[in-house]
Every structure is written in C-alpha cells, then in structure tokens.
Chain A
C-alpha cells in the first residue's frame, strides 16, 4: 500500500508512467488517458501539464505562470495549480518517483 502524494510548492512530479498525455489529431485537442478514464483538460490545464516535467517544482511552475499572466496574483495561481495537481495526484496520474 502506497501513501497519498500530497502536493505542495516544493513537490517535483512527473506524469505517472502509465499516463498518456497527447494531442488528438481527430478532435484537435489535448487528451489525457489513464486506466479506464479519459480526461479532456481545458486550455489552462494543458498549459500546466506541459510544465509538469519531472524537473520543475510546483513553485517553479507557479512562477512561470505568474510571469506569463501578470494580472493574476501569484497567490491565486498557486492555489489553482496546487488544487489541480492534487486532484490529478489523487487520481493516480502523477508520480514523485523521478528515477527511470
């Protein structure tokens, strides 16, 4: 039995090995496939998912987004990003095991 992955700004994560995040040419949109589950991330989620690369911490991802969207307070971005990644972690889509 594994422990729950709790997402914080210091977390460094990647997509779990069995998650496929790819562009669907037929529907012309990004899709994320998980065991018996199909997710259709919105534009914002797609942008965040591209930044989850096994190198950047959640804090660094928030910084990158805050630099792009200067009207939004960093605090608000941090809250949204952490909530989204925690939800994905709870669905088993993320991993903090960075060894290959």
Chain B
C-alpha cells in the first residue's frame, strides 16, 4: 500500500489499570500493569504534547479508572493547553463534585460514565462492588452540575439487555444527551466469560427494535449509539477504522498500540514512548505498519470489495478465534474460520449465567 499515512485523530490515554470495579467483561489485558510501572506525570505530559504536534485532536482519558491517578487534573489541563479535546471515560466510583468541578475548570469537555445496569442490585453484582450504582448516580449529578455534557455507557450482554428501555429512561433522568449501548466485545477477560454474556438472537432483535423506536421518539433529545455485537454480524466491524489509520493508544506503562487489545498479539514488539517519540512510532514503527492498509491481507480479504471499508475486521479477534492475526476476522461470513463464531452463538443459547470475576491485586 503506497498511499500516504494520515496523522492520527485520537489518542486513548490509558492512565492506569487500577480500578475499584471487577467487571467480568473487563477489556483490559489479562495481565494488568502494576502501579509502579505506570508512566509518570512528566512522561504523560510529553505524550500529550507529541500527540498534539502529530495531529491528534481528541484525547480520551481512560483506564482502568483514570481517577485513580492523582495527577489527572493536571493532565487534563495540559491536554487543553495543547488544544486537545478532552474526554474522561470513568466508572464514577472515585471522587465526585469537587473533582469534577476541578476537571471542568481545567478544560475537560465531556464525561463518559459507565453503568453496569439500570437496577442497582444487578449493577453492583456485575461490577462486583457494593454501592457502585449509587455512587455513579451521584457522580452523574455532579457532572451535570459542573455544566459538562454526559454520555452514559451501558455495557450490555445477556444478563442485562432486557432492561434496555429502563436504561434509556435512566439516561434521560440523569440528564445525559447521549447513551452508548455497548455490547461486550469478546477479548481478554470477556472471552473467558463469553458463554455467560453473549446475548441470544431473540434478545438482540428485541434490543434493536427498542433502539429504533427510541431514536425516533427522542430525536434531538438523546443520541443513541448502538452497535450490534459482531458475533451476530455478516461482515466484520471496521475495527479502529483500520490498523494505524486514526487511533493511537498509550498503555499505562507507555507502550504505543494501534488498539486497546493489540498487546495480546504475539510476535509484535510494540514501541514504548519511553524509547521513541510518537511521530516515529506512528509513521515508522514495524508495529504500526504491520497491518496498515491492505498489502498484508490474504484471501478472502485481498480481493474483497469491502477491503477498504472494514479493513479485514479485527486483528485481535482473528488471532483469538483463528490463531493467526493475519487471517480474516472470523466473524465475517466469508471467513473459512466462521464456524467458531457459529459455535459460540449456539453455546450462548444454553449456557449458565455464572461469571469469573476479575481482581486487581
């Protein structure tokens, strides 16, 4: 592929893996980074400056729970000084009014707050933390009191999807302008719990119908983002809009990766921001060029008319389900490995609901 490489649009700054929640679908790597290995405030400031110079426009402060970092407010201010549009992705279980007011004063533009369910008891059960739901509710009020726009992120799966109408009502009650109906993606810890989480076809169809009705009724009041879980798709998602095309993640210990889950791929050395600058990493590293464009593709992707629409789907999913990151994403019905996805769907129709919880310890 000879076309020029565009600069990245967004940086996901994964400040820490520390988190008070124990969600069974946690998207962080199975091996969590220790606090002692985390980047320092100075290192993050350098990353933010290099990101802005490279062309990044938005920064998402994430984790783990980013509010576990005491220097978050100063990183928000640094991002704002560089003209980066700051977004906080939080569980809302650490801190409240005082912190949010400071973040708003430092130039934060938006908060995305996760909820595990509309019902407090089930939400707390899924999060593995008593009282979490009540804290999140107070946190939402603090966000609105600070004048910041709020998005609710509802992670949905078989064990809470039936409460979708109540989740939408909750978003309205809490003053959110946007709600993400985020189906669990089956990587890392979530893959271990897939049989207990993957919704049935019937549940999914009902959810899609509810979203369509609510979108009509709430036009201009609440934006509803709903992405159907890719196990039920015919073609794969355009994962990260393509490897190394728009997004750049920096992990708590400073590794630069094209996506959140890419560290699970074997045989790729991801560069550290401790050893190189972001521009070198983005344009010249082997890791970011590994699956960029279409030259790396094998059939059926190579000759597929959608190769520059879905970019072969997700590399991590290809590795996890087909054992080879350079194969087509098996959720694609054209993939020779598609049978494993069909088997997972069948398994989901009859599996029990028990979780394997995760713990940061």
Contact = CB atoms under 8 A, between A and B. Distances in A.
A76 interface: no
A68 interface: no
Given A18-B149, A38-B57, A38-B58, A3 B85 contact: no
Interface string A14-35: 0011101010101100010101
A98 to B, nearest CB: 15
B87 interface: yes
Contact of B57 (A18, A24, A90, A91): A24
A36 B220 contact: no
A45 interface: no
A99 B107 CA distance: 20
Interface residues of B, number: 27
Contact of B147 (A17, A22, A92): A17
Interface string A57-68: 000000000000
B339 interface: no
B55 A27 contact: yes
A2 B221 contact: yes
A31 B57 contact: yes
A3 B7 contact: no
A67 B138 CA distance: 51
8 contacts: A2-B175, A2-B221, A27-B7, A36-B60, A38-B58, A89-B220, A92-B178, A92-B223
B151 A36 contact: yes
Nearest to B222: A1
B286 to A, nearest CB: 24
B110 A35 contact: yes
Interface in A28-87: 31, 33, 35-36, 38
A26 B57 CA distance: 10
B101 to A, nearest CB: 15
Contact of A33 (B58, B147, B178, B220): B58
A38 B149 contact: no
A6 B83 CA distance: 31
A3 B172 CA distance: 11
A1 B219 contact: no
Interface in B1-33: 7, 9-10
Contacts of B173: 1
Contacts of A24: 55, 57
A88 to B, nearest CB: 10
B112 A36 contact: yes
